[in-house]
Amino acid sequence: MTAICIPSATKTVISNNFADLSRIYEDGVNLCLIERPFPAAIEQFVYRALQNAGRVEISQPVDPLHFDFNRLWPKAAQLPGYQDWLANVEMLATAFCELFGRRAAAPPIVDPRYGVSGGNS
């Protein structure tokens, strides 16, 4: 039996430029981390929403072209900053789909503190 040694990809890209997410396609890159500040309205919304609604996790397929993001977290819809937060979630879901050539991000995990994380379809 012959052993084949395959080098692992270990390069991480850390940036504050959202466009650098596309660097995930560079040889050897296995992680892209984009550091970005949240506007005050989103931070305040998340704080209030977690105070009022407690911990929440929403997981469902999202096709950014046909999904009604306004129905994403109806329990928090009356809070100031909800529309800003929704716009951020929609932008992240759309970017994920465009970056990875997917029609839908499924199932995204929506954490109000961060927006959307991962999922595949």
pTM: 0.69
pLDDT in tens, 85-116: 999 988 888 888 888 887 666 544 455 555 54
CA dihedral (30, 117, 17, 79) in degrees, to 10, reads: -170
pLDDT at site 74? 83
Helix H or strand E encompassing 21: none
pLDDT, position 107: 46
Give pLDDT < 70 ranges for the chain: 1-9, 54, 103-121
pLDDT for res 5: 44
Q: What are the residue ranges spanned by the domains of the chain?
A: 1-36, 38-117
